[in-house]
Amino acid sequence: MTLLAHVRYCDEILVQTDLLGALVKDADLTGRVPTCPDWNLRELVVHVGGAHRWAGEIIRRRAADAIPDDQVPDTSGPAGGGADALAEWLAAGAAATVDALREAGPDTEVWTWGWERRTAFWARRMAHETAVHRADAALAAGTAYEVAPGLAADTITEWLQIVAFAQTQGDPEAAELRGGGRSLHLHATDVPGAEWLIEFGEDGFTWRHAHGKATVALRGPLTELMLAFNRRQKPDEGGLEVLGDRGLLDFWLERSSFG
């Protein structure tokens, strides 16, 4: 599985935002989000719209350093107007950020918090940020959720890169993801080639796209696999199957976080 093209990530930001906006129009904005328990649905959407605007401001300014939140305009959502106004505000921020990403192209140098300093990072990050939080909203609203295979697979890959980066930055939970002789295999049963093998070493973990026998395997439909790996559902939900040492899978899920 390979990275998607810059134009595809830009398109997906808009697609995922439109789907999130449509969901919001029919949902209770005051309802809590089980997978993000500190937020209700409105707060979740404002977080996504604020993230779009923050990334867009970094790109437009060609910022060499992080931009403080209070220097990014219009991040608190519409003052009123209910769900329709919230969806319109969300769409406007995504569209402005995608315009900035398309104008800049993938290789313009900008500040990021991650392992590469170019606009391609933000196109990919905002596509996945929106897709995963759309899953949060769908779970909160009790509606079905599906995502295109290429995007779902790359969400898993990006999350592995984020956790690996967190380990290099001294994140205390990610630092515990070590210990030789153990491995974790992710296997999407409905998309050929969508497999990941995570191997634990004494100094950390490595991963690669591969099929192989592991200490524990998590297998099932790709969308469900993505949700479980992003800690949006339990590993034994959605038709997923755990084979082998469930404790090692839980060990990973409990520690694969950043920030």
If you average pLDDT over residues 233-243, what whole number do you get?
A: 94
Would you state the pLDDT for residue 2? 72
Instruction: Give the range of the structural domain holding residue 185, as residue numbers without chain letter.
Output: 150-255
Q: What is the pLDDT of residue 8?
A: 98
Tell me the pLDDT tens digit for each residue of 69-82.
999 999 999 988 89
* Domain finish residue from 145, 179, 211: 145
Same domain, 106 and 187: no
Total domain count, the chain: 2
State whether 112 and 165 are in the same domain: no
Distances (CA, A) of 153 to 52, 150, 183, 197: 22, 5, 19, 13
CATH number of the domain that residue 227 is part of: 3.30.1050.10
Q: Which of 93, 113, 145 is the last residue of a domain?
A: 145
Residue 148 confidence class, pLDDT cut points 50, 70, 90: very high
Q: Do 94 and 157 lie in a common domain?
A: no
- Summarised one tens digit per residue, pLDDT across range 150-193 is 999 999 999 999 999 999 999 999 999 998 889 999 999 999 99
Of the three residues 145, 172, 190, the one that is the final residue of a domain is: 145
Helix axis angle, 149-168 relative to 222-229, nearest 10°?
A: 20
What is the pLDDT at residue 258?
A: 66
* Residue 91 tokens, joined: 């769409």
Q: Are residues 15 and 129 in the same domain?
A: yes
The pLDDT tens digits of the residues spanning 32-52 come to 999 999 999 999 999 999 999
**233 and 140 belong to one structural domain:** no
Phi, psi of 184 (to 5 degrees): -135, 125
243: its two tokens:
């084979």
Mean pLDDT of 116-145: 97
Rounded Cα distance, 137 and 131, in Å: 10
195 phi and psi angles, rounded to 5 deg: -140, 150
Is the pLDDT confidence value at 259 over 70?
Answer: no
Q: Is residue 1 part of a domain?
A: no
Distance CA 160, CA 208 (A): 10
Do residue 114 and residue 181 come from a single domain? no
pLDDT at 256: 92
